[in-house]
Amino acid sequence: MYLLDKPFASDFLINTIKDNNYQVVATKEAYDLVADKSLNWISEEDAITKLKQNHSLPIYSNSENALSWIHNHFGESKLSKQINAFKDKAKFRKLLKSEFLDFKFQKVKLKSIQDISIEDLSFPFVIKPSVGFLSLGVYIVKNENDWIKVKKEITPQNLKHIFPKNVIDTSHFIIEDFISGEEYAVDYYHNDKGEVVILNVLHHVFSSETDTSDRVYSTSKTIINQHKTELEQFLNKIGEKLHLKNFPAHAEVRIDTNGKIVPIEINPLRFGGWCTTADLSGISVGLNSYKYFFENAKPNWDTIYQGKEDKIYSVIVLDNNSGIKPIDIAKFDYNALAKDFENPILIRALDINTYPLFGFVFAETHSHNKVELYNILNSNLRKYISVKD
């Protein structure tokens, strides 16, 4: 069963739903997003009944926004509590406290941030919304000077956003230890037995130590083989704590030089946001993560990358770091952007005046040509932008 909601549902996702006759809950938000009567729509009433009759019914949401439907109709249910354990970052840290005894964190009210004593802080640390998405409102604070600057930005008037309260809740923030190591994003699900099935592992590359953007995520046979087993073991421990079954998720973790895995966050009932990471695996190597989840299937990694062992597949997130206000932008040149990649598999354009992004690039890159990924990682995108007269 699918819960669809704004901001975006891809053609790849919709075609997967159609081809497999998967049920879609007929909410107003879903109809507004996908005006297609040929989908296998199920009324909200019937969906509620089915979920009450079968608490382990596989359900997938394309968007954080749709989680409010579950909260509104199943507020005290096991599923709702499982979701909230992940979405509330403070609750998530408490869930894992026994595994990370030395990890410090605290939940603070927005109105109290300006009054926090420097003696109560341990540098470096990260401060972010207690409930958040897309690295919005996330800051790395390395010293007291950084803290002074960040406090000026974390004010109510600066925290306007396009997502509902259950997606970005800026009334509370969490302050936590900075996690060292390389960052990875993981699409996976807990099958009908509760076991973790890895569907994708992507290296989240940053341009600097203080970079918190979502610009480049890359996957390959090498990356998956290197981390798959340890990630399965780690995520299984979390699943056992919450008794997860038929449960898709998208994890962000860091892995240090000793191989220790520390979670940053886990996003429930979906894979990577905006239909990115799951679509990438489907379009690039034929691994349809949506279908694997609903069929309770496991990938055969020995064959999936056959003939593509030397390829890197990336999602490029075109966030507006140009310093140019959207209202002043006349055009973004996607054709010029495409020419800067060896093989741009797909470019998804978005309206920068509606969303905080110009869109996404799905790219295939030879392992010897990583320079194109580093170039876009460090780009302010101004070369593609035309400004209004």
Looking at the fold, whether 60 and 102 belong to one and the same domain comes out as: no
Q: How far apart are CA 302 and CA 221, in angstroms?
A: 9
Whose tokens are 């230890």? That residue is 177
- Amino acid (one-letter) located at 133: F
53: burial class by Cβ within 10 Å (0-12, 13-18, 19+)? exposed
The predicted pLDDT at position 131 comes to 67
3-class DSSP assignment, residue 208:
coil
Given 177, 203, 233, the domain boundary residue is 177
List, for residues 251-303, the tens digit of each pLDDT value.
999 999 999 999 999 999 999 999 999 999 999 999 999 999 999 999 999 99
Residue 49 lies in a domain: yes
* Alpha-carbon gap, residue 232 to 44, rounded angstroms: 34
pLDDT at 16: 98
Q: Which residue's structure tokens are 């998804």?
A: 348
Q: What is the pLDDT of residue 181?
A: 92
Is 92 inside a domain boundary? no
With respect to residue 91, please indicate whether it lies within any of the assigned structural domains. no
- Positions in the chain short of pLDDT 50: 161-164, 166-168
What are the C-alpha distances in Å from 241 to residues 99, 130, 235, 236? 11, 21, 10, 9
Within this chain, do residues 138 and 240 fall inside the same structural domain, yes or no? Answer: no
202 lies in the same domain as 296:
yes
The residue range of the domain holding 339 is 182-387
Residue positions counted in the chain: 389
